[in-house]
Amino acid sequence: MSNTPGVTPEIPQLDPMRVQVRKHAMLNAIEEEPRRRWWRIAVPASVLAAAVVATTVLWTPTNPSAYASWTAEPRAPGPGADSVVEKCRKLIAESPTADMPDWPETPTDLTIVDQRGDLTMVLFTGPESEQSCLGSPKGIEMAGGGGSPNGRPPLGSARFRMGSLGTSDPDPGQGEPRRTLVAEVGAEVAKARVSTDDGKQVTATVDNGWMVAWWPTKAKAISVTLYNSAGEVIGTESAEIK
């Protein structure tokens, strides 16, 4: 940086939307201190994303993993799924993005219930955005969603389109890491499986034109393999956000 007298260095301009998202996230972090969880969400450059603060509890050697029952294959939803859905809707209503101008309306229409052990992942979708939420033995955890105020274009004849890829990376003692992948799929897709860079093969839950898969590590998703109702592979897609 130049120190030449009389020369004022140019001050970079910040994007107003990013400033507002950060402001809301910081204010909620202050209110929730020290029980906070940050979410990093990857979405296409034309799509908005938000950081959402959710209540968590401390993980200690005497307080075992909330994800202990996680399985790579989902199962039928348990009897407590309806309760998780309603708690997630309540948490969405209280999210810091609810009163932000130009932000897509946060959806509350249920699209998928993904059950793994005693862990219930809920996906809500709408014409402008999507939102995921997880119920575990330790409570409700919500990720920031993706969306566009201009709406989502039709999938058309495509079989697959990435929606969002979220990473939970909490501070030590404040929770556990995980990744969540959300995507749209065509009508011929009956099953989808995510390959990760640590060797996992995670079968997604597919319903209502969407898929959701998550795993309790920070391992990156490499690809998504698509299957038809006969169990035949009909395509392999990149898990990268474009």
Query: What's the domain count of the chain?
Result: 1
Q: How far is CA 132 from the centre of its chain?
A: 5
Residue 75 lies in a domain: yes
Check whether 183 has a pLDDT greater than 60: yes
Residue 111 lies in a domain: yes
Q: Please say whether the beta carbons of 185 and 205 come within 8 A.
A: no
Phi-psi region of 150 (alpha: psi -120 to 50; beta: other; left: phi over 0): alpha
Sign, Cα dihedral of 34, 19, 90, 205: negative
Residue 196 lies in a domain: yes
Tens of pLDDT, residues 15-63: 444 434 343 333 333 223 222 233 334 444 344 443 333 333 444 445 6
Residue 2 lies in a domain: no
Residue-number span of the structural domain to which 127 is assigned: 35-59+67-238
Q: How far is CA 183 from the centre of its chain?
A: 10
Burial class (CB within 10 angstroms; exposed 0-12, middle 13-18, buried 19+) of 20: middle
8-state DSSP, 227: E
Residue 1 lies in a domain: no
Residue 141 lies in a domain: yes
Residue 15 lies in a domain: no
Rounded distance, CA 151 to CA 154, Å?
9
Tokens 């299957």 correspond to 227
Strand partners, 40: 167
Tens of pLDDT, residues 129-166: 899 999 999 899 876 567 777 888 899 999 999 998 88
Rounded distance, CA 146 to CA 122, Å?
15
Tokens, residue 192: 């989808």
Instruction: Give, rounded to a whole angstrom, the gap between the first and last alpha carbons of the chain.
Output: 35
Tokens 């969306």 correspond to 147
Tens of pLDDT, residues 95-125: 765 556 666 778 889 999 999 999 999 999 9
Residue 10 lies in a domain: no
Q: How high is the mean pLDDT of the chain?
A: 77
